């Protein structure tokens, strides 16, 4: 069952940051007192991230899918309950995570991050051509993201930045733990 998000049920930015930290994705600072107990359902977390007013929290969808591939289970149903910018954000960031998971598979494995392949859910909807070239697929996805969102931003750079910040932070934490 999918939890419908409204302004009353949507998680706050602080609660989102705290939950991401609990899941091992400390890309944004948080306070332990902002954590929900019990943790929010995956569908509520995905919808709240996709509808967040903060770009850094929306961008956290990519490392969330890279670090926790089981969060892909409700993604199609959650996307079905979203519209406009939030839907575009979720489907494009999820698809970017699929491609980035392939691109960085070795690094993810070295870091001990489970990299069960994310199911390809939205490629047909996005008209994403099948390709073995991850970089060209990311470039095409970025173009589609710009068309669908009406925002001519460097979406490919955004996808890469989200993955690289996560990988760098995770590498740093692993090295610190060994010291």
Block means of pLDDT (10 residues each) for the chain, length 179 residues? Answer: 54 89 75 63 96 96 96 97 97 99 95 89 95 97 98 97 94 82
Instruction: Report the C-alpha gap between 53 and 148 in whole angstroms.
Output: 18
Tell me which residue of 22, 51, 52, 26 sits closest to 36, measured CA to CA.
22
CA quadruple 157, 170, 89, 2: dihedral, nearest 10: 170
Instruction: Report the C-alpha gap between 69 and 41 in whole angstroms.
Output: 15
Instruction: Write down the pLDDT at residue 175.
Output: 83
Residue 179: both structure tokens together: 């010291």
Terminal Cα distance for the chain, rounded: 44
Domain ranges, ordered by start, for the chain = 13-178
Instruction: Write down the pLDDT at residue 1.
Output: 44
């Amino acid at each position: 069952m999918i939890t419908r998000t409204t302004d009353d049920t949507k998680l706050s930015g602080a609660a989102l940051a705290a939950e991401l930290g609990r899941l091992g994705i400390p890309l944004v600072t948080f306070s332990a007192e902002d954590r929900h107990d019990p943790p929010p359902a995956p569908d509520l977390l995905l919808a709240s991230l996709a509808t967040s007013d903060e770009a850094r929290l929306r961008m956290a969808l990519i490392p969330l899918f890279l670090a926790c591939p089981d969060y892909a289970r409700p993604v199609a149903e959650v996307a079905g309950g979203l519209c406009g910018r939030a839907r575009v954000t979720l489907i494009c960031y999820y698809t970017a995570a699929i491609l980035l998971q392939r691109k960085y598979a070795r690094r993810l494995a070295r870091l001990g991050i489970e990299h069960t392949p994310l199911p390809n859910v939205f490629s047909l909807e996005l008209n994403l051509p099948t390709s073995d070239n991850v970089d060209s697929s990311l470039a095409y996805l970025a173009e589609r993201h710009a068309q669908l969102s009406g925002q001519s931003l460097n979406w490919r750079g955004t996808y890469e930045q989200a993955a690289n910040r996560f990988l760098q932070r995770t590498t740093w934490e692993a090295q610190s733990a060994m010291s």
